Structure 1
């Protein structure tokens, strides 16, 4: 079968499509023919050795897939032909950039017929992240800020915050097209963060009070900007692992205004039962059209380098997938 391998750190061209044996089944495992594999920005960072943890090489990337069960090992109860999503990231797996993967049958979550595989994949890391972030605090009457609002997490988070009762959603993004997209998803106000005065625009939108909650999964200077935009007693939900930078002055001002920085890491929140229930919930929201899932572009496996260039360009809106 074809699979993607990283043998050395570097740019997108280090992603090699290689022929390897189709993985053998163990007891209670299923073999899944991959119809869609998610591409994530953290995988581009890992490829460059810029992630919080240096991965071992060779690396077989890909931690979220959806596809069809083609074979089952002894004790596996999933029926052949079943469409499933496999959150490999939650069970310590990888290698999803491939034509086939194996996983324990307990890790598979059935995908409704109304949910395409590309959409199912977009609801794994990004969907679960947005869902748990939206659950983090009571939202009734709150004004919230969402950065990178046209991205995989941001586009879902806007909608889930609205469903959860947020009173006002301010979205930041980078182009006029993305600003309109954020509004169409439920943002009340959309601000272009490439404008040097974007922080003033957010402050003006809150009549100078600042936002109650800011959600940032970008990090760097954006996280520090979000901290400055909080009102008294506000919360910054920060989920950019290894990419957050706050000055001593930022932290002193935060303390003076009774504000908080709340770290967000998805994996510790996911027991097997919670993971399954949450994915069933997200698939149901999608299948009933209460949640719109944006697919930016699907690439064949042999164009994986182009997929990584696309995600690094920051021009994408929604999820980028591979379709082996």
Structure 2
């Protein structure tokens, strides 16, 4: 089978197409023919050895796929052959290997897809969908003003409508450029603000009558986090989920204390359980299939275009989910 791997750290050019043996399904496993594989920003950090952990090389990236069951292992019902499924590899102990034509997984870990849900949309609801769902549950949102950074990205574009469904009174989208802000407003944001404009946090204060945002979801990190503090209400919450890009120092943290503000970390994996994972994904899939949750696609690339998919993410050109189509 064809797969994408990198054998050294570096830019997108280190991604290469290789031939690998197709993994046979072991006892209790299924072999899934990959129809869509998700591309995530943290994989660009892994490729550059800038993530929280250093991967072993060579590495085939990819933690989320959707496709059809092509073969079953010993002890697995043969009737599963041909069933459309999603494979949340990141949550089932298989954190690599998705950029490929086939993956093997435990039969009990795959999640069936509704007939009306595409493979590409299903992939967008794995890492990003679960992240948005749990972020929306992280704090009570009813009646509050919520600000979402990277609001046109994979997580942000799903968090906007989920925050609205959770009862947020006002939803403010922060993104880069008019096209992305138009996307965010189309997904339910009351206000769109371009973070590339200096002093953008002051616009949040004006829009909220000087109160600021009650809850800010920051999945960008770096300088954006510091600007978020200027937009945060006294007593407000900054929910930080940009692993590896935390740059607040003692002075900023002390300022938060003086404003009775709180900093909440967000990491998806510790929140997932086998039972909850299937229930949460079934909920997301049903919402998307019914049209109650819009999935934004940010670009479809062949396996041999994986480097270009990474460039699109790193340059922040994409809006929504970037996927590889083997």
> TM-score normalised by the shorter chain: which range applies?
over 0.9
8 Å contact kept, 2:153–2:318: yes
**How far apart are 1:228 and its partner, in Å?**
2.7
Partner of 1:311: 313
**How far apart are 1:276 and its partner, in Å?**
0.4
**How far apart are 1:138 and its partner, in Å?**
1.3
8 Å contact kept, 2:202–2:230: no
Q: Please give the alpha-carbon distance, in whole angstroms, between the structure 2 residues aligned to 1:309 and 1:183.
A: 26
Partner of 2:210: 208
8 Å contact kept, 1:37–1:97: yes
**How far apart are 1:206 and its partner, in Å?**
0.9
8 Å contact kept, 2:34–2:67: yes
Alignment of 1:10 onto 2:10: yes
Stretches of structure 2 lacking an aligned partner (at least 5 in a row): none
**How far apart are 1:247 and its partner, in Å?**
2.2
Alignment of 1:294 onto 2:296: yes
**How far apart are 1:92 and its partner, in Å?**
2.0
Partner of 2:64: 64
Partner of 1:91: 92
Partner of 2:236: 234
Matched residue SS, 1:292: coil
Cα deviation, 1:42-91, whole Å, max 9, x if unaligned, reads: 00010011111111111111000000000000122361000000000001
Q: Please give the alpha-carbon distance, in whole angstroms, between the structure 2 residues aligned to 1:91 and 1:183.
A: 35
**How far apart are 1:140 and its partner, in Å?**
1.3
RMSD, aligned CA = 0.8
1:196-275 equivalences under 5 Å are: 196-275=198-277
8 Å contact kept, 1:228–1:250: no
Q: Please give the alpha-carbon distance, in whole angstroms, between the structure 2 residues aligned to 1:284 and 1:264.
A: 25
Alignment of 1:73 onto 2:73: yes
Partner of 1:39: 39
TM-score, length-scaled by structure 1 = 0.99
Q: Please give the alpha-carbon distance, in whole angstroms, between the structure 1 residues aligned to 2:36 and 2:255.
A: 45
Partner of 1:30: 30
Cα deviation, 1:146-205, whole Å, max 9, x if unaligned, reads: 001000000000010001110001111111111111111000010011111211111111
Q: Please give the alpha-carbon distance, in whole angstroms, between the structure 2 residues aligned to 1:100 and 1:63.
A: 13
Q: Please give the alpha-carbon distance, in whole angstroms, between the structure 2 residues aligned to 1:185 and 1:196.
A: 25
In structure 2, which of residues 187, 190, 193 is the aligned counterpart of residue 191 of structure 1? 193
Partner of 1:54: 54
**How far apart are 1:133 and its partner, in Å?**
0.2
Partner of 1:20: 20
Matched residue SS, 2:138: coil
Q: Please give the alpha-carbon distance, in whole angstroms, between the structure 2 residues aligned to 1:61 and 1:41.
A: 11
8 Å contact kept, 1:173–1:191: yes
| Aligned residue pair count | 324
Matched residue SS, 1:135: helix
In structure 2, which of residues 103, 109, 113 is the aligned counterpart of residue 111 of structure 1? 113
Q: Please give the alpha-carbon distance, in whole angstroms, between the structure 1 residues aligned to 2:76 and 2:229.
A: 48
Over 2 Å off, 4+ runs: none
TM-score, length-scaled by structure 2 = 0.98
**How far apart are 1:242 and its partner, in Å?**
1.4
8 Å contact kept, 2:160–2:189: yes
Matched residue SS, 1:152: coil
Partner of 1:322: 324
Q: Which moved more, 1:110-119 or 1:241-250?
A: 241-250
